[in-house]
Chains A and B, each alone.
Chain A
């Protein structure tokens, strides 16, 4: 089943066209990787899916994005609701300058959960799901800024998990982390796909090959090729894809 479908999606910043007529089907409970050289529009594509591009003045889209069959950009779409159901993890770990506990509780509180017992339960569960609980259970009240980069990123994942989204968008989640931190996040992603649909944008082709089930190759705003990860990395149909994954450019 396809969780998110884009139909002839184009994105413009002012006059500049960032994405060109992208047709993409993101299958549910799988990890889909979007790869491509810097500036090809990977992150912009991701940010169309939770409408974070709305924050950029003069950005507009053409075409459609369907989320469970419903048009994300329809006039009656509740953006807040969309962002609650489609979570996001950013390139640079960006925990709030609050305590570990409050970082996770924030998303719950703004969504109306006030009960302290319930908050604590969800905080604990989210931290366990993101594999951070054992490391931080005694310092829930210390500032998130004191954690290491890898821990901060897992905290951000826990923060996204806490409000139980259906999809998690990951925008180069490991690019600011060391190999050990990267390994933990990748392990976590594979575990999480049982419950969530994950879309990861990555610069790192080995990472895409390691974790993803499907891969799309984006080049200069166009989707060159999309298919099973195995196939893309072994017998790519397109010359451009082959050149990119074999490291001849990018």
Chain B
């Protein structure tokens, strides 16, 4: 009797622990970033860190720890990616969900999912040998390793997420709406633009947010193709150094326990919070979307 109860409790404990392990790991990572990151501010005033343009931790004279340039770089590259990926992604999703024959759909969907599986280093490679030279040639630049290159590749990388989530959303729209629209004399195109897409807008917003989340955190590709100049970018043709690339490049070489070391953790914490926020919004929108349907 007692043995059975102990066994029950042990099993219960096991599943409970595994169940909440994701939460524990998440919290652990955040705390680690936060605790180390906060120590930056013993030496660097918070606002100098947040609003400073110059990031030069290994300067001979006065080192500077301003992250604004890299924040702007990250935002720029991500925004560019989204501007490219959203029309393309929603268009593809609309085509797959509403227009393609079942046979085409069954071919396209797995292909798009394979696109998601391409390693980021391979994407970076393509950026260096293909996209970079093409950009340089078209716009007459000396180097094609810039923000635009990063945006294009991140767009390709976030496409599978955007397509598959919005396609699900479009297909979840009740056929009744489409039929009502056709019965009023609307064409397929009008129906898609004015009935189907508005009806699943929140699902599409969620797909875009998830795409942004994917793009913000991407490291290897942007590190390889954006040129990594730690300065304030003025256009998409400037070489930029994003937050992720900065951490990846510098953390391996920085001496343990220095201000520079802690500053990198602070950058990581900000990155974490941003992508957490974006994912949270996506999640909230999706939940609202499901409820609205019920």
Contacts and interface: CB of A to CB of B under 8 A. Distances in A.
Interface of A: 50, 52, 55, 57, 80-84, 87-88, 90, 92, 94-98, 106-107, 110-111, 156, 159-160, 163
A94 B182 CA distance: 12
B180 A94 contact: yes
A111 B185 contact: yes
B180 A96 contact: yes
B179 A110 contact: no
A148 B182 CA distance: 24
A38 B266 CA distance: 67
A106 B185 contact: no
A193 to B, nearest CB: 20
Interface string B174-193: 10110111111111001000
A61 B186 CA distance: 22
Given A94-B179, A97-B198, 17 more contacts: A50-B183, A52-B179, A52-B183, A55-B182, A80-B186, A83-B182, A83-B184, A84-B185, A90-B176, A94-B174, A94-B176, A94-B180, A95-B180, A96-B177, A106-B184, A110-B194, A163-B185
A80 B181 CA distance: 11
B180 A87 contact: no
Nearest to A145: B292
10 contacts: A81-B185, A92-B176, A94-B176, A97-B198, A106-B194, A106-B195, A107-B185, A160-B184, A163-B184, A163-B185
Contacts of B185: 80-84, 107, 110-111, 163
A110 B180 CA distance: 13
A110 B186 contact: yes
B101 A57 contact: yes
A160 B186 CA distance: 12
A97 B190 contact: no
B199 A87 contact: no
A88 to B, nearest CB: 4
B184 A94 contact: no
Interface in B183-222: 183-187, 190, 194-195, 198-199
A231 B290 CA distance: 51
**5 residue pairs, one from A and one from B, having the closest CB atoms:** A84-B185, A94-B176, A107-B184, A88-B183, A83-B185
Report which residue of A50, A81, A87, A97 has the largest number of chain B beta carbons within 10 angstroms of its beta carbon: A97
Contacts of B177: 94, 96-97
B100 to A, nearest CB: 12
Nearest to B292: A97
Interface residues of B, number: 19
A86 B292 CA distance: 32
Nearest to B184: A107
B176 A87 contact: no
Given A106-B194, A110-B190, A110-B194, A90 B180 contact: yes
A96 B199 contact: yes
A126 B84 CA distance: 43
Nearest to A92: B176
A96 B179 CA distance: 11
Contacts of B292: 97
Nearest to A103: B180
Nearest to A82: B185
A57 B102 CA distance: 10
A96 B195 contact: yes
B179 A55 contact: yes
Interface string B256-294: 000000000000000000000000000000000000100
Nearest to A94: B176
A52 B182 contact: yes
Nearest to B187: A80
A90 B174 CA distance: 13
A87 B184 CA distance: 6
A130 to B, nearest CB: 15
B55 to A, nearest CB: 48
A142 to B, nearest CB: 15
Report which residue of B174, B181, B292 has the largest number of chain A beta carbons within 10 angstroms of its beta carbon: B181
Nearest to B190: A110
A110 B184 contact: yes
Contacts of A52: 179, 182-183
Contacts of B180: 90, 94-96, 156, 159
Nearest to A143: B292
Contacts of B187: 80
B188 to A, nearest CB: 9
A160 B185 CA distance: 10
Nearest to B174: A94
A223 to B, nearest CB: 24
Interface string B156-180: 0000000000000000001011011
A156 B183 CA distance: 11
Contact of A83 (B101, B183, B195, B199): B183
Contacts of B176: 90, 92, 94
